[in-house]
Amino acid sequence: MHDDRSLVESRLKRVLDERIRPAVYPLSVPLQVGIWTAPDEPVPVTEGLAAPRTPIAVGDAWGAPWGTSWLTVSGTVPEEWAGRTVEALIDLGFDANMPGFQCEGLVYRPDGSPVKGLNPRNQWVRIASPAAGGEEVLLHVEAASNPVILDYHPFLPTELGDKDTAGDRPQYRLARMDLAVLDETVWELVADLEVLGELMAELPVEGARRWDILRAVERALDAIDLQDVGGTAARARAELTGVLASPAEASAHRISAVGHAHIDSAWLWPLRETVRKVARTTANMTALLEDEPDFVYTMSQAQQYAWIKEHRPEVYARVKKAVAEGRFVPAGGMWVESDTNMPSSEAMARQFVHGKRFFLDEFGVENQEAWLPDTFGFAGGLPQIIKEAGSKWLLTQKISWSQVNSFPHHTFWWEGIDGTRIFTHFPPIDTYNCSMQGREIAHAVRNFKDKGRASHSIAPTGWGDGGGGTTREMIAKAARLRDLEGSARVRWERPAEFFTKAQAEYPDPPVWVGELYLELHRATLTSQARTKQGNRTSENLLREAELWAATAAVRTGLPYPYEELDRIWKTVLLHQFHDILPGSSIAWVHREAERTYAAVAEELTAIIDRAQRALAGRGDSDVVFNGAPHARAGVPAGGARRADALPAAGGRCTVEPADGGGHVLDNGLLRVTVDARGLVVSVVDLDTGRETIAPGAAANLLQLHPDFPNMWDAWDVDRFYRNTVTDLTGHDEIVVTADTPHTAAVRVTRSFGSSTAVQTLTLTAGAKRLDLDTEVDWHETEKFLKAAFPLDLHTDRYAAETQFGHLHRPTHTNTSWEAAKFEACNHRFVHLEEPGWGVALVTASTYGHDVTRTVRPEDHGTTTTVRASLLRAPRFPDPHTDQGLHRFRHALVPGADIGDAVREGYRINLPERRVPGGADVAPLVSVDDDAVVLSAVKLADDGSGDVVVRLYESRGGRARTRLAAGFPLAAARRCDLLERPREDALAVQADGVAVDLRPFQLVTLRLTRG
């Protein structure tokens, strides 16, 4: 037989494109259109509906960047269409290839009730089925002219990302504006042919099934009269019934499809636009749920539900109804789909606290899964947090983006730093925007790495980011793929149904231990430094606000600011979204975040000040408050002492000239030599005589690299950036700025490019650390600034702090997995150690770093270099990223063990506070083991007055501690993160309880006051 396969396949494509799809709407008449453009920001619906309209026609330009236009479309259903299905086709000027990244609309009825969203792949609005001839049509469209930021030539710098610089040139032209008859038989034929054509293309050429489909398609094409597609569509469909009815093999892979629209809470649009994207999408999805009885839709991010509740209550009412029916599924149990690398321990816990509590309060739903399809890697502390929140599963997809190594599993146990395991699934379909195309389904089957042991995977299905979610076309395809030979079996199922089946089928999958590192988007640990500093400052202030407000409430009766703290936490959690905190959003988002963080700091500082003044009482001394979890300078952790009662500072500091120029700083614990270039060439631990800095090297060395990754500018740093480096050794000025009995400091000023850096190096009496203040006035572009610390230290691994502990990473590159981790995250410290002696680099606001090692040819010793990442200057999506003044604080701590690293990390982030008064303040709670850290001290969220304490083992060993309450203690219970009791009451003795902890274990205790 002659091979005519290509001929038939080409015929199918042309006939579909040029004859069958156009026949879906065989009859149409134009609609009349009027427009009104809001003068600035979006207006309330009532105002938009009432505003006067100006006529506008198809082909006319509309929509300045970030503008809102209100369109009114009107017309009359022709009499001869009576009994037919009639729809309005409203094309705002869409590009079908960009769902979610351009203009969008929300359709309203004249009474202001929302109908559905308008998107590039979802332009129809049902008018009637069957229609009545002469029926009047009147609809309003709130149209957002969001500019295209990520265009066909991606990553080009653009000023469109900020309303102040975007200009007012219209972005779009109105396209089709018609009333049209929908031929449902032709529409079904399109779905038949698309499913079979896409399946056929994925089947082996030598297999009989491909040829069976080919011949059936050929017969169907023969049955169509191309001049009367509607009249012959049923005949063509009849030719396909046999191949569509052939069932899947018994061993076919099973895909749980779930409706989905991953909506970034901010990214290439501002927060206010996400509010509207969510409203449009949920309006679409609740309407679709009413039409499709088998369909199930899921949406994560409690913040997005809260936005609909506040801004679109009519849509929210539809959501609540669908949730109650079990068809609209709240997923994930987090406030937002946050970054998981950089948020602090408490912030990561509160993502689940606030997310799960919202879903419980609003819907009575408790999530069992964490849902993070798009997050840029996962910290090793996350499994324990998920479990402590009452969940047990995790879904993500992003790890499939890794550049170097293909992750070896799709379903597995993920074991965190404390030993907690979470059942985890990566969809092998490799997208969280599945559209039910044959190539996607076939890829999931081929790609699934657990064949022979498991047969289930999940497919989040729908256009995201304002693309409108799942479409009726996707549902039609899924119906045909339910049981089709040659394909995986597809069912609409809730995430919990998938996970339950998957875990039952595969109860003993392989185990992955430690962080889930994404081999991509590493530069998100550094981009937009102000956003990152705002986050860190907010986290620290929230810790203090809760601690001091709780202490004041218990000790003085000062009202606890429940509502204020709840609101502020939600604001901070929102800004930890995985395109805000990572620095990968447009300029508008980050400028707004900077203002928000400033307001948050002002409000939290006022809460702290009010509580501390209540505690300090009256007096003519200063009262020194210590919000850190370790005692320091005579002030207990979580307590306060009068300044005049504190022990006098011990020890002295000196600054002497150094041989060959420069200065020697000495406080009796460290001797630091700063050479004539202003670089640290020696740091001697005087207790041991040990030199910290590698021979011939210089520390606190600023290094500048070119930084132009192959793509994803704000997200990525590619390994080749290291090929070129400039050491910034020149200086403008070196001066001694402090030479007192208790401090010794040197300030170094440098100029480079268009920028300047001022570094201040300070020794303090009694402190075994070198404090490093760096102020950079940054005006570079496409450059990467790091601060290097080459250490005379041999180790094959180092510790980096993460949530509720730390994890170890290699210093070598033996394998491709290790080599790929050339930029990584830490919270407050990195720590390197030889047996008996170590060094910590602690930080107040930076996250990115790298650690490398070399062997010196002179003495064969090992130099291990730690570099803190300070600033970048990518030009997409914000062409002015990080321009301006920045301040960074670090400290080098020689002779540090891991406990010193933990303590110094908290110290630099939580400076003492002084308040006028006369009272000492005993800690509200305390522990007797420094390895145990109090992560949070607060009052219970339910307003009961109970004190909630969260603590964790911080050094990676076992700990037994006594938690002492500074108040009469009636009862103590272990709780989950949501403060719900988990176990029987603990034994209380002398207003305290004994607590045993595993390495890195976190424990939440609820203390009832007597």
- For 805-931, strand residue ranges (E) read 805-810, 824-825, 829-834, 837-843, 848-855, 862-872, 884-894, 913-917, 925-927
Q: Which tokens go with 855?
A: 């062997």
Using DSSP's 3-state secondary structure scheme, residue 559 falls into coil
The amino acid at 910? L
Q: Could you count the other beta carbons within 10 Å of the beta carbon of residue 208? A: 9
Place of tokens 């992003």: 398
The answer to whether 257 and 487 have CB atoms below 8 angstroms apart is: no
H or E element in which residue 581 lies: none
Q: Which tokens go with 467?
A: 């693309």
Q: What is the 3-state secondary structure (H, E, C) of 539-558?
A: HHHHHHHHHHHHHHHHHHCC
Q: What is the 3-state secondary structure (H, E, C) of 587-637?
A: HHHHHHHHHHHHHHHHHHHHHHHHHHHHHHCCCCEEEEEECCCCCECCECC
Name which of 407, 349, 252, 183 is nearest 979 in CA terms: 349
Place of tokens 């600035």: 40
The answer to whether 107 and 114 have CB atoms below 8 angstroms apart is: yes
Q: Before 657, cis peptide (omega within 30)? A: no
Q: Could you count the other beta carbons within 10 Å of the beta carbon of residue 972? A: 23
Q: Before 130, cis peptide (omega within 30)? A: yes
The answer to whether 937 and 549 have CB atoms below 8 angstroms apart is: no
H or E element in which residue 570 lies: helix 562-574
- For 340-455, strand residue ranges (E) read 369-371, 393-395, 411-415, 421-425
DSSP strand pairing (32-37 vs 797-802): unpaired
Q: Which tokens go with 184?
A: 């449902």
Cβ-Cβ contacts under 8 Å for 143 (sequence gap 6 or more):
62, 63, 68, 69, 70, 71, 92, 103, 104, 105, 118
Catalytic residue among 162, 178, 374, 716: 374
For the sheet containing 947-953, what is the strand order? 932-939, 947-953, 1002-1009, 969-975
CA distance 542 to 558: 17
Bridge-partner residues for 760, per DSSP? Answer: 747, 773
Q: Could you count the other beta carbons within 10 Å of the beta carbon of residue 510? A: 13
Does the active-site annotation cover 732?
no
Using DSSP's 3-state secondary structure scheme, residue 683 falls into strand
As annotated, the active-site residues are: 374
